[in-house]
Amino acid sequence: MDNKKERIRFEGLNVELTGKETTNAKGNIGLSFEINGVDGTFKTFNSTTGEPIESNYMVTGYIGENKWRTTTKINSAEEDYTHSLEQKINRYNHIFAIDTNTKLISNILFPIATKISVGVGVKLEIETNSFVVATIEHPFLASHNSDKPENENWMNLIDVLKDLYLPTDKIGIVVDSDLGNIDEFNSRKKTIFKDYFLPESFELIFASDKVNDNIFNQMIRRCHYLSDFALQKMEENMNEELNKIVAQH
């Protein structure tokens, strides 16, 4: 039995409290909350001013082995107080996902064991009352023995997309690694790979491939499967070609 399927999922909206939320000289903070069961909004208010406090992002996850496990993390738009993934999705003009798998290969072509990393991406197609996940036919190959193959292939995908869409288009990229750095990647405080900063029109969305809870998890799971399959086929084709070469001599 898969115990993870039985774990209760939690959703939360993150709000950042600053000095303006204090309600008295002691620095106490007064908050009130409003939950609307009809439209799914959950608002946090400054009790003194009555003003709503913006949420930074929505996070979903579960508690496993005495540790919080994040399964999805996505930024919120201004004045978006909902737990609705559809509302979050509407922030973007386009949403893609990419995952990279790595294998250590050693043969005649690579006499010294070499890490080969292949990434495969998908695009979220939004149709009437449904989502369709379409595969990007072109796989992405990180440099041999790359120390950050996942991040390198994010960059490779983004460079392709920059030439396909308008600079004003908001593009979300679903990834399953570097959760602790995603906020700084999105705010351009850190480079995502070497000296490469995330372009202004792009934003990273975290989703785990370990669960199948929502469309973002499903996208990254699909990428993981396709990447693993592409890597396997690449190795098989490489071995077939090597066998042909050996047979000719």
Domain boundaries, the chain: 1-82, 92-249
What is the model's pLDDT at position 6?
Answer: 61
CA-based torsion, 10, 132, 82, 99: positive or negative: positive
CATH architecture of the domain 92-249 equals: 2-Layer Sandwich (3.30)
SS3 for the chain is CCHHHHCCCEEEEEECCCHHHECCCCCCECEEEEECCCCCEEEEEECCCCCEECEEEEEEEEEECCEEEEEEEEECCCCCCECCHHHHHCCCCEEEEEEEEEEEECCCCCCCCEEEEEEEEEEEEEECCEEEEEECCCCEECCCCCCCHHHHHHHHHHHHHHCCCCCCCCEEEEECCCHHHHHHHHCCCCCCECCECCCCCEEEEEECCCCCCCHHHHHHHHHHHHHHHHHHHHHHHHHHHHHHHHHCC
Q: What single DSSP character describes residue 202?
A: E
Tell me the sheet residues that pair with 205.
174
pTM of the model: 0.84
What is the model's pLDDT at position 189?
Answer: 98
What is the model's pLDDT at position 2?
Answer: 47
What is the model's pLDDT at position 1?
Answer: 38
Average pLDDT, the chain: 85
- Asked whether the beta carbons of 133 and 219 are under 8 A apart, the reply is yes
The list of the chain residues with pLDDT below 50 reads 1-2, 4
What is the model's pLDDT at position 247?
Answer: 60
What is the model's pLDDT at position 19?
Answer: 58
What is the model's pLDDT at position 241?
Answer: 61
